Amino acid sequence: MIKSKIKIDQPRVMQIADLENAVINAFIHYDTSYLEPLNPEGVYSYNNKNEFIEELKLEIEKLRKDYPKGLCSRGSVCMFCYPESNAFSFYSKSTDEFVMRYVIAQDKDQYKVNLCKNEPIPDGANGLPF
């Protein structure tokens, strides 16, 4: 009797950088198609993939109305609620006005993509939360 090993393909574990790039591109291009390659088995801030995409789609529609010229992104940090997470700030392309900050992290078996509601502290202050 010959025993053969059957290789079962395991789904590729999505890297946090893949999620960061997808979210950033979705916001700066106002296009949720960048989120389609996300792992369909993933949990994103307590949502499944489709719920997560629908949630960001609503946010993007608001942003498109308020900032028709688009957004640009810069790496950021939040030292208050999310000091260990990667943060990304988004600014108006036309005015360079701060619009919002998202924090993206992996926590065990799920991904966190959260709007950071902390307000920037002016330069010269204590530097917190970012």
The closest of 70, 107, 101 to 88, measured between CA atoms, is 101
How many residues are recorded in the chain?
130
Convert the pLDDT of each residue in 71-116 to its tens digit: 999 999 887 877 889 999 999 999 999 999 999 999 888 999 999 9
3-class DSSP state of 78: coil
Q: What is the tens place of the pLDDT at every residue in 70-81?
A: 999 999 988 787
- The two counts, helices (H) then strands (E), for the chain are 2, 4
Res 81: pLDDT = 77
| pTM for this prediction | 0.81
- Domains (ranges, CATH) in the chain? 16-116 (3.10.450)
Count other Cβ atoms within 10 Å, centred on residue 71: 22
What's residue 7's pLDDT?
A: 46
Q: Is 12 exposed, middle or buried (0-12, 13-18, 19+ CB in 10 A)?
A: exposed
Lookup result for tokens 């005015």: 95
